[in-house]
Amino acid sequence: MRLLLWLVVLLTTPLAAAAQSLLLVPDRVFTATDAASRPGWKVLVAGDRIVAVGPDIVAPAGARTLVLPGMTLLPGLIDLHVHLFLHPYDEASWNDQLIKEPLALRTARAVAHARATLMAGFTTVRDLGTEGAGDADAGLEAAIAQHIVPGPRLLIANRALVATGAYGPKGYAFDVPQGAEEVSGVDDVVAAVRRQIAHGADWVKFYADYRWGPGEPSRATFSLEELKAGIAAAHDAGRKVAVHASTPEGMRRATLAGADTIEHGNDGTPEIFRLMRAHGVAFCPTLAASDAIARYAGWNGAAPEPEAIRAKRRSYAAARESGVALCVGGDTGVFAHGDNAREIALMAVWGMASGEALRAATAGNAAILGLADRIGTIAPGRLADLVAVAGDPVADPMALGKVRLVVQNGAIVRAP
Ligand SMILES: [Zn+2]
């Protein structure tokens, strides 16, 4: 009897799932192979893959058809700079989160953040450091992969690396936990990179500059030799490298040392962006983090803009002018998880065509991750990571806030 039951389960569940076809019929499709949305197109999914996209697709016998009136279907969105173990700084300062919130609380929050991220249509995110939550990102990544909790495909950077004494929290009468692993000297940098990879890092993250004290400007921290050795060790292990750098000198060292992406670039110059382009380094401007931090400090979003916002606009304009590849990641966690699309909207509001910002957040981000053959576009053979939003985000990026359907690996995880 039990054997018979197992046979029935075996014959019905996996085979039926593999054969299940889903025809999605939105008003229009944004494939991310270019910057346009196409009225009247449909997408056919079978199992976990996209099998067809175009105007004249006929559903095979037995397929489920889902009509999505008024909606645009897009590839699953990708955020290349999140911190699932942080929550908005107007709820608790970064210092307080690191020092006062126990690891179990931070991990429980991260589980909720992962779910909110997926429900907002972000099916892949790169988490750039647990910020003091140790190796907990590896456990979260495993819990999502094993379908224990819902969340996006995660690429994690584990503890990240800072030069000894350069980061925080600081200014306490006793030693407090730090926001990243402190290390100095070529041999110790290499050892820390290898240890973090062994603990699960898919990407390696360095802080190439930081302010040594409150009110000070950022200054380059790691030497060029330390960065070169650490990045080479990561590349030897098949891991790419993200580098936090805001100063021209930090960005220059990161570029010459072989970084794959540079984060923030608040004071980036035309020369530095041209150097990055020549070396094939992508730039994540994290506009949404600067916007959020300025608002937490009292800015109302209108003129007069604080100097930090004016500097960010200059840097972003110089980056766009240089032709450097732009990656899309808001430093989500500084503001609420689930609001990840703020970065795409700001990139558009600050001058990029909406369709190009959308392409950067899908096809562009997938290419930077080295996953363009699996995610980031709607094309036959790609994984069926899809999102439908009300309206047309090519005409109005605010439509990205109106997510109605999320499909992950072919499974509907948010239904309209
Ligand atoms: Zn960050």
Residues constituting the chain: 416
Q: Helix 342-349 vs helix 287-296: angle between axes, to the nearest 10 degrees?
A: 100
Centre of ligand 1 from the C-alpha of residue 368, in Å: 17
3-state secondary structure of 292: helix
- CA 416 to ligand 1 center in whole angstroms: 32
For residue 82, the CA-to-ligand 1 centroid distance in Å is: 6
Cα(50) to centroid(ligand 1), Å: 33
Per-residue model confidence (pLDDT) at position 19 = 55
Query: What's the pLDDT at 126?
Result: 99
- pTM of this prediction? 0.95
Between the CA of 86 and the centroid of ligand 1 the distance, in Å, is 10
CA 271 – ligand 1 centroid, Å = 24
Give the Å distance between the CA of 16 and the centre of ligand 1: 42
Give the tens place of pLDDT for each residue, 17-44.
445 899 999 999 999 999 999 999 999 9
Tell me the CA–centroid distance for residue 409 and ligand 1, in Å. Answer: 27
How many CB atoms sit inside 10 A of residue 336's CB? 17
Q: Are 204 and 242 in contact (CB under 8 A)?
A: yes
Rounded distance from Cα 385 to ligand 1 centre (Å) = 25
Q: Could you give phi then psi for residue 205, rounded to 5 degrees?
A: -120, 130
**First-residue to last-residue Cα distance in the chain:** 40
- Domains of the chain (ranges plus CATH)? 12-74+377-414 (2.30.40.10), 77-340 (3.20.20.140)
Which residue in this structure is represented by tokens 């911190």?
A: 83
CB 233 within 8 A of CB 194: yes
Structure tokens at 322: 């240089």
Cα of 157 from ligand 1 centre, angstroms:
11
Q: Please tell me the distance between residue 81's alpha carbon and the centre of ligand 1 in angstroms.
A: 6
The alpha carbon of 317 and the centre of ligand 1 are apart by a number of angstroms equal to 21
Kindly give the parts of the chain with pLDDT less than 50.
Answer: 1-18
pLDDT tens track for 304-363: 999 999 999 999 999 999 999 999 999 999 999 999 999 999 999 999 999 999 999 999
Neighbours of 305 (CB within 10 A): 14
